[in-house]
Structure 1
Amino acid sequence: MNIFILGAIAIIAYILQIFLGMKQIKNFNSVYIRMKRKGKVAIGRRPGKIASGTILLLGVDHTGLIKDAEMMQGTSIFARFKPRPQFVGLDIHHLTEAPMLMKENKLTRQAAANAQKIYLEVEQGNHREEAPVSPIFNIGNQLSLMKGTIQAKLTKRSV
């Protein structure tokens, strides 16, 4: 097969992935904004690199009761948010102790625990969001560290 045809297929697939990824982000933003207009939103996530990833959005009132819940779970860019009415009416302070949570899959339980943990930290004023480091930035950091180490060794030998 011609290399140009393979290249064109790869470029088209990449553009399609970008487009569908943007639609997924738009779906997240619309659900988040809709919930945010009603009150606080607790976001629980259980990222997945190989396995399925999960994002749980919980609309919480001023007393801590969950008024709205939607979850996106899947490995592909076709995953969308779906209502999760079983969370409605629960107190987020006691979410991980709820008997209904034991009926959910492991990823949902982890996302719910993450949402509760972050909500409680924010409520107490102790939450600090740690920005994830991109793999490219991480490689850059590693190269900078290696360069500094090599330069330090070279300057010690030349002295």
Structure 2
Amino acid sequence: MFIIMLIILAAVGFVIQYGLGFLQIKHFTKHYTELRSKGRVAIGRRPSIFKAGTLVLLQLNNKNEIEDARYMQGVTVFSKIKKLKGLEGKKIKKLKDTDLTKYNKLLIKAILDAQHTFNVIQNGGTIEKIPSPIMKVVNKVNRIFKNERGLKNGLHR
């Protein structure tokens, strides 16, 4: 009986998490669409499990100047997009760490990721997918097992 209740509780939790995640994506899409209607949008991201995940939207004019900036930061699905003040009028290509000192470390990384994404796209490249924190752990474990197997078989790198 306890196992059945545990399974039901987990299923209910999953459905609630899915529903709240859907609402968060809908909230993000509303803001992205609003910014996109005004011009190009550079997106920066910094996913995390134990720290706040961070997402930045930078709306650019035709001179590559930031006209509007918004961010979402938090560890739960209740995180909302907020205005990011202080970047208006700055050229995205010329952003430096020194321009970002008033922001927290995760927000700085997301802003610099938006800058990197913009530069790659401008030069005709494609953006590499940032693995989720769980996939980083899985990949690390896989590398450890591959190294152990290689050593057992007499293979060295």
TM-score category (smaller protein): 0.7 to 0.9
* 1:120-149 deviations in Å (ceiling 9; x for gaps): 221222x212345685xx89xx7xxx9xxx
Secondary structure (helix, strand or coil) at the match of 2:79 reads coil
Structure 2 partner of 1:39? 39
Q: Map of 1:1-159 to 2, 5 A cutoff?
A: 2-99=2-99, 101-125=100-124, 127-131=125-129, 135=135
More helix, by proportion: 1
Q: CA deviation at 1:97?
A: 4.8
Contact 1:96/1:109 (<8 A) preserved: no
Q: CA deviation at 1:48?
A: 0.8
The one-letter code matched in structure 1 to 2:46 is R
* 1:48-107 deviations in Å (ceiling 9; x for gaps): 1222110000000010111111100011111111011222222111122553x1111110
Distance in structure 1 (CA, Å) of the matches to 2:2 and 2:104: 46
Distance in structure 2 (CA, Å) of the matches to 1:133 and 1:45: 11
* TM-score normalised according to structure 1 size: 0.77
Identity %, equivalent residues:
34
The one-letter code matched in structure 1 to 2:41 is V
The one-letter code matched in structure 2 to 1:24 is Q
When the two chains are superposed, the root-mean-square deviation of aligned CA atoms in Å is: 2.3
Give unpaired runs (5+ residues) of structure 2: 147-157
Q: CA deviation at 1:33?
A: 0.9
